[in-house]
Structure 1
């Protein structure tokens, strides 16, 4: 074998080796960040065994148990990209407002809204408790951190309007990734009967929250940040920079209520500060809570009062 040919083969082999390793890295990022198997829904209560959760365990177990016993109708729709999406409809009175409740990342509605569902029902509202794509009984494997999910929220709005009429009143309420999702949805061309948005402990953007977790896990931040967008596009078929809560709220015309625990260890409180600063009209309340998504449990009376006052103000 002549020398030029050997050099060419070596160079091509090195290039192929680099490409293969980049593809492997991209796939690992995709699997760690964006992939979830809905056939194995993460509906375990094992998280209650964490040290920080123990003071709230009994309350949460009771709330989840009671919420699980509430009668509901299972409803489904097709997403914009052909997935079957599922939700639980708790119908009290179709002449009263409808609250669309949107849960968090790799979670499920009954857990995240074990208290919130009763808050809505006690206010005589109807509830649509959705399963995100790739969660619960909905189809799909890809979590897009609100990028595609915001259009699913829009599809659920259309479902309610088609079934109950355009004169119903609709509120959007989300927690964690669900909070970010409803904030992103708020800048879409929503029907006029969508009246308000409530977001509890949302992250400011997909990139921000993955960066934060990457640092904590001591993964190579430079590689993750550089290849994250390509991983999402190549395997997830979405653009992580297409939207974010931070980008969306300046364009929203809806009243927004923002809630966050000031010692949140998972989604930093500072992310809500950034969101609030992007839209000075946002109503922002903080709780002295150090557990992600538990402001309702930490001070139930105050939480209920804040949400009820906000909804009464903007729905009446």
Structure 2
């Protein structure tokens, strides 16, 4: 009887371990979009005009990550001054997806840095961590920009989806170094987001599985879901943040952005009145998107900069 109970317990443990391994594999190795597919998609939508992009003064830079691989970045410098934007793309995408946002800010007189997250595009790294390792890679990009331009740098960071969560984790738990941030459809807490998606896609009782995911992530990667919560650090960010989310988004719910906005102290703005699915606010509403950003810059960024002069 004792032997049978031991075997039953062992098989149960092995089964749970296998399930934890399966779920974390789905998270860590989420299939990426093909790089050529992303480029072609952006070209066909006229969000990337290759001749215009090729004509911009730019150079490719390999930035050492603190985790032992290179981050592939492109510094785009049509202007001689020290005003820059850094763009942080979403999961499964790459820096080509950032070019549409880059073009918007180049029109407004900014230079730009676009780069590939770890395990995406031409950057190294074996796993996706939804902001945990990526926030330190973002710091490496910021450090490289400061090294090249100088301490009198004026810059903002724009992020989409995972890229938006990454910039919030960076600003809230690493350094609030940028002059402003634009967070487009971020998750507020990855554990809650994972629970929501698991209940829809895997039909699994997420409430009981999250502790298993936590233990497995800690064992395999050294962090837990609690480390992926922009909501837990948002109060540390003093600089202005523009929060953007489509009211139609059913992948990451707009309520997550509302929760972040409500907890953020100080300068902030919220805009939810876009149409379109997840991460499509700009694609489906380009003129309105630009108007919202310009209003935010005028009200919270440029005005504050003038006060400090």
Q: Which string of whole-angstrom CA distances, capped at 9 and with x for unpartnered residues, describes residues 161-215 of structure 1?
A: 11221111121110011111111111245375x2011101111111121111111
Say yes or no: does 1:35 pair with 2:29.
yes
Question: 1:243 Cα shift?
Answer: 4.3
2:79 match: 93
Question: 1:147 Cα shift?
Answer: 1.7
TM-score normalised by structure 2 residue count: 0.87
Structure 2: gaps of 5 or more residues: none
User: Which entry has the higher C-alpha Rg, 1 or 2?
Assistant: 1
TM-score normalised by structure 1 residue count: 0.85
1:108 match: 94
Structure 1: gaps of 5 or more residues: 1-6, 49-56
Q: C-alpha separation between the residues in 1 aligned to 2:62 and 2:163?
A: 19
1:301 match: 287
2:102 match: 117
Q: Which string of whole-angstrom CA distances, capped at 9 and with x for unpartnered residues, describes residues 250-296 of structure 1?
A: 11111111011111121111111111111253210122313111211
> Conserved in 2, the CA contact under 8 Å of 1:144 and 1:238?
no
CA change 1:29–1:73 in 2 (3 A) is: same
Q: C-alpha separation between the residues in 1 aligned to 2:259 and 2:250?
A: 17
> Conserved in 1, the CA contact under 8 Å of 2:176 and 2:237?
no
Q: C-alpha separation between the residues in 1 aligned to 2:148 and 2:99?
A: 26
Greater relative contact order (Cα 8 A, min sep 6): structure 1 or 2?
A: 1
Aligned Cα RMSD in Å? Answer: 2.5
Q: C-alpha separation between the residues in 1 aligned to 2:210 and 2:174?
A: 31
1:206 match: 190
Question: 1:156 Cα shift?
Answer: 0.9
Say yes or no: does 1:186 pair with 2:171.
yes
Q: C-alpha separation between the residues in 2 aligned to 1:94 and 1:247?
A: 38
1:236 match: 221
2:275 match: 289
1:53 match: none
Q: C-alpha separation between the residues in 2 aligned to 1:183 and 1:117?
A: 19
* SS across alignment from 1:93: coil
CA change 1:162–1:268 in 2 (3 A) is: same
Question: 1:218 Cα shift?
Answer: 3.7
1:260 match: 245
Q: Which string of whole-angstrom CA distances, capped at 9 and with x for unpartnered residues, describes residues 203-239 of structure 1?
A: 1111121111111114312443231211211222322
> Conserved in 1, the CA contact under 8 Å of 2:82 and 2:152?
no
> Conserved in 2, the CA contact under 8 Å of 1:34 and 1:232?
no
